[in-house]
Structure formats: structure tokens, C-alpha cells
Copies of this chain bind each other. A is one copy, B any other.
Amino acid sequence: MKKSQNLKLGLFLSVACLLLSATVFAETKAAEGAAKPVHGEYIDWRLLSVSHREDKKTLRAILGNDTAIAAARKEQTKPWPDGSILAKVVWKESTHPNWPQAIVPGEFASAEAMIKDSKKYASTGGWGFGHWEGGKLEMHDETKAKECFACHMPMKDNDYVYTFSALK
């Protein structure tokens, strides 16, 4: 083999190794990201209900902070007391690898919040709307909150909340 051929082969192998390493690294990062998203404090809250939105192809868990859970168990949620926080955790739907008739959580999609403060959020039924971003709860401004609130109007008789507590 000529010296120039050796050089070319060496260069080719180096570039191939670099590309392979980069791919493996990227895939590892993606897998880590998918496996362990950053969640907020709701991870330690208790469960109110679950749902499967077939139109959106998402599975959800609705959790409540201590104030919300206590109110739900006493059936004193018309209205929910000030200080109640509801968290809606959303995953893209997936199927269980060993049981394809079972729809299970796939990739984490979002976590949204409703916070009850009848004075602070009086213009939106006493509810503030927000979402967890990188584990931190960020509230929407009034314009965005009014958009959220509009979708909750059909539930006026249930204090604007779609969830009916299933675990009480």
C-alpha cells in the first residue's frame, strides 16, 4: 500500500469514528431527555383523576396540591378554596411494548396549572392559568389566561374545572 493511500484510509477512519461518536452521543442525550424530563413540584402531589384525550392522542394525570386534595375529599369544590392548585400532566400516547392494547404514556408533552385565588384572578373565574417550564411554574399573563378561561366556560357549574375527582 502506498503512503498516500495509508493517509487517506487513516483520514477516512478518523472521520468515520468522529461521526459515529457524535451519533452515539446525540442518541444517548435524546434517550436521556426522553426518559427523564424535568418535572415540577406536582411530582409529589396526589392524584385527582386520569384521562385519555383520543382527539389529541394524549394521556393525562390530574394532580392536586394538599389544599385541592382536602377540598376534593370533602366535596367542597364549588368553588374550590383559594390556594388550590391543579396540575394537568400530559404525555403523548404510546402503546405498551408487551401489551399493544394498552395505551401508556410516551414522551412527556407538558404540565399545566390552574391556581385558585378568587381576588387576584377575579377576571378569569378566580383561576390563574400557567404551565411548568423546565420544572418551574410560570403563570400566563391576563390576555393568555383569558384564552385558557374561555375553553373552561362550559364547566361554569363545576367552578370551571373539567376534572371530576376519581380518587376520593
Number of copies of this chain that the complex holds:
2
* Interface pair A53/B102, CB less than 8 Å apart: yes
Q: Interface on chain A toward B: helix, strand, loop, or mixed SS?
A: strand
Question: Could you tell me which residues of chain A, from 76 to 115, have a CB within 8 Å of some CB in chain B?
Answer: 89, 91, 96, 98-99, 101-105, 108
A34-71, CB < 8 A from B: 36, 39, 43-47, 49-56, 59-61, 63
Interface size band for A: 35 or more
Interface pair A96/B46, CB less than 8 Å apart: no
- The smallest beta-carbon distance between A108 and chain B, in angstroms, is 8
Query: Which residue of chain B has the shortest Cβ distance to A98 in the bound complex?
Result: B154
Q: Would you mind naming 14 contact pairs between A and B with Cβ atoms under 8 Å apart?
A: A43-B168, A45-B46, A47-B63, A50-B104, A51-B59, A51-B102, A52-B59, A53-B101, A54-B103, A61-B167, A99-B162, A104-B164, A104-B166, A105-B166
